[in-house]
Structure 1
Amino acid sequence: MMASSQSCSCRLLKMFLSLAVQIAHIILGNKGSSPMPVGGRTPNLFLPPPITTTGNGVMDSQAQVFRSEFLRVLLSRRSPEVPLMVDYSNSVENPLFQSDVPSTEVKKNCILFVMGNIKDAEQGRLPLLILSLKKTSEQRRPAIVFMHGTNTNKEWLRPWLEAYASRGYVAIGLDSRYHGERAYNCKTAYNDALISSWKNGNTMPFIFDTVWDLIKLAEYLTKRDDIDPKRIGITGISLGGMHAWFAAAADTRYSVAVPLIGVQGFRWAIDNDEWEARVNSIKPLFEEARIDLGKSVIDKEVVEKVWNRIAPGLASKFDSPYSLPVIAPRPLYILNGAKDPRCPLGGLEVPLKRAEKAYKETGSSGNFKFKAEDGVGHEVTSYMIKESSDWFDKFLK
């Protein structure tokens, strides 16, 4: 943890910050109040994520095939496309937490600060919390998208968002599917959605649907007059780290990625019986699947069937050995705990080797980094926050 004098300096800085705060919603097919087009422009129909080239034909081809197939899966459970719109709303007075409010110890001692809001035709609005320093020039700024973990919300991220804002970024937090404003005051909304997906197979609330939202968000952010569209970073914690990882793989508009305690090997965990800690984080889903499959206990067959049902390809063609390499050559820093049972290091051996190879082949070895912090389980530390902020400063400023 940082020294108390540094924490004091951090609080003093916050006192003197002049932050511009926006609460907005990106709207797709809204039937409510009349929205205004994003940035005052005529809205465009959604376009697939842009494809960039690295100069390495093999890697470019693999990345294009991956993104095309991943986008096909995302589109397989979507309603028809509609224009991208935005409106504005008030701050959330009492944000919903679906479990005990997580510790804020790291946040109180971190050296960062930022905020925003958005909407989706499916699953209601996509709320954003956007923070930035008040505009002092017409110069576009780099942006950071920060994703929260399971059962929390964008408001819980505000100290981190403010920290990034104080460093000159436009900082964006959003509620992932069935969290925060999108839980509609239901404490079991996320688990209910997971179970519904298992039974009906019509949504993908674990990772994939929120990645779809992040593709929409990238479209919106690149239209904003205050953001440099070529300098948009993404990070997140736990579930948010998974969102950041897959969003960067799916959409090249995220130019720098730092997933925190999220990257793992789903196939490896099944094959090596290292899935229990991950299953326990959303256990009601797996208990329901166990009953439906006539099993007395949750076993690897139950786990594999659940992943295949609620996130097709998660434990196969979209798993980390295939999704991490396609982020190259964009800067990627993976930060995990060395003793994290949800992201066991054994499951990262092959993905990391393949990622290193991809970065080497694209002539960008310096853009890839992995750190497993000694003695740390499934938690974010001040070291991780410092490392991630330095990484963003290195590549976005």
Structure 2
Amino acid sequence: MSIKTQSNNVNGVSLYEVFDESWTCSKPLVILIHGFSGQKDEMLPWGTMFAESGYYTLLIDAYGHGERNTTGDLPTPLEAVLKTTDEINGLIEYYTKNKIIDSKRIGLAGGSMGGWITLNYITRRDRKVKAAASMLATPYWTEILGNPVAISLLQEKKPTYTNEIIDAELKLAEQIQPARSFGSLRDFPLLNINGGADVFVPTESLKQLIEYARSLYQDKSLIKMSIHPDTSHVFTSEMIQEVIQWFDLHL
């Protein structure tokens, strides 16, 4: 096994490609997205785990993050989520021209803000992925933007995130949050991983939404919520391994 990591920039999106140079047959593609104020470099251990499991992996910088942060100030959470969501299909179209990638086996996963992006993308009619996994996130964006503990953390990372801007984002989130479209998933393979000790992301309403969505699935096993009881708002190798196992089943 010879895992290689190389940089690329596709349609203005800075990213790492992580893959095994010895591969001779087509492999599934997985796109991984970090959280707010993060960057692709933080996901390198994830990328290695995925590549070692047989996935051609893209670690991308979300809009306004990492190499794409040219001003020193982060975008607002919703701005980063919406603009990154719009970029995913362009990345897929670019990489599925590569003969080593199986265009019918594409997965999307993200954590925290990356989970917002994942959940937002899969409720779109033009999604091009076969399965997805969200970690430490909820499709109820208003529960984050209305949470004083979460807002305090966001303002630490983005001091220009004023209460006025937050109020405007909260109003927009009420209109467009993916929880409103969860009923459209119907047999789309989705894994939701959350921490039982996460003070930033409530899980009770998400549990209820998952049960509602599951009631619309013919194959109930295709939508799953996994709670890691003692885990706070942090990523763990156990979460990543669970996502890999999910994609092993559904890609």
Superposition pairs of residues 1-12 of structure 1, within 5 angstroms: none
1:377 aligns with 2:235: no
**Aligned-pair CA distance for 1:181:** 0.7
Q: Name 1:39's counterpart in structure 2.
A: none
Q: Name 1:130's counterpart in structure 2.
A: 17
Q: Name 1:255's counterpart in structure 2.
A: 130
Pick closer, same or farther for the CA change 1:168–1:283 going to 2, 3 Å.
same
**Aligned-pair CA distance for 1:305:** 2.6
Q: Name 1:365's counterpart in structure 2.
A: 220
**Aligned-pair CA distance for 1:232:** 0.6
Q: Name 1:75's counterpart in structure 2.
A: none
**Aligned-pair CA distance for 1:127:** 0.9
Q: Name 1:144's counterpart in structure 2.
A: 30
Picking from 301, 322, 325, the partner of 2:183 is 325
1:210 aligns with 2:99: no
Work out whether residues 135 and 193 of structure 2, in 8 Å CA contact, stay in contact via their aligned partners in 1.
Answer: yes
Q: In the aligned structure 2, how far is the partner of 1:283 from the partner of 1:368?
A: 33
Residue ranges of structure 1 left out of the alignment (5+ in a row): 1-16, 27-118, 120-124, 198-203, 294-301
Superposition pairs of residues 213-292 of structure 1, within 5 angstroms: 213-250=87-124, 251-267=126-142, 275-283=147-155, 289-290=162-163
Q: In the aligned structure 2, how far is the partner of 1:151 from the partner of 1:288?
A: 13
Pick closer, same or farther for the CA change 1:288–1:221 going to 2, 3 Å.
closer
Superposition pairs of residues 15-54 of structure 1, within 5 angstroms: 17-26=1-10
Work out whether residues 269 and 347 of structure 1, in 8 Å CA contact, stay in contact via their aligned partners in 2.
Answer: no
Work out whether residues 126 and 182 of structure 1, in 8 Å CA contact, stay in contact via their aligned partners in 2.
Answer: yes
Q: In the aligned structure 2, how far is the partner of 1:323 from the partner of 1:215?
A: 19
**Aligned-pair CA distance for 1:269:** 6.1
Amino acid at match of 1:143: L
Structure whose residues are more often strand by fraction: 2
1:189 aligns with 2:61: no
The aligned length equals 249
Deviations 1:172-195 (A, max 9, x none): 1111011111013x5x421xx33x
Q: With structure 1 as the length reference, what TM-score do the two structures score? A: 0.57
Q: In the aligned structure 1, how far is the partner of 2:92 from the partner of 2:214?
A: 26
Structure 2 counterpart SS, 1:207: helix
Q: In the aligned structure 2, how far is the partner of 1:136 from the partner of 1:339?
A: 40
Q: Name 1:305's counterpart in structure 2.
A: 168
C-alpha RMSD of matched pairs (Å) = 2.4
Structure whose CA Rg is larger: 1
Picking from 174, 178, 202, the partner of 1:315 is 174
Work out whether residues 120 and 139 of structure 2, in 8 Å CA contact, stay in contact via their aligned partners in 1.
Answer: no
Deviations 1:13-35 (A, max 9, x none): xxxx3134442222xxxxxxxxx
Q: In the aligned structure 2, how far is the partner of 1:234 from the partner of 1:325?
A: 19
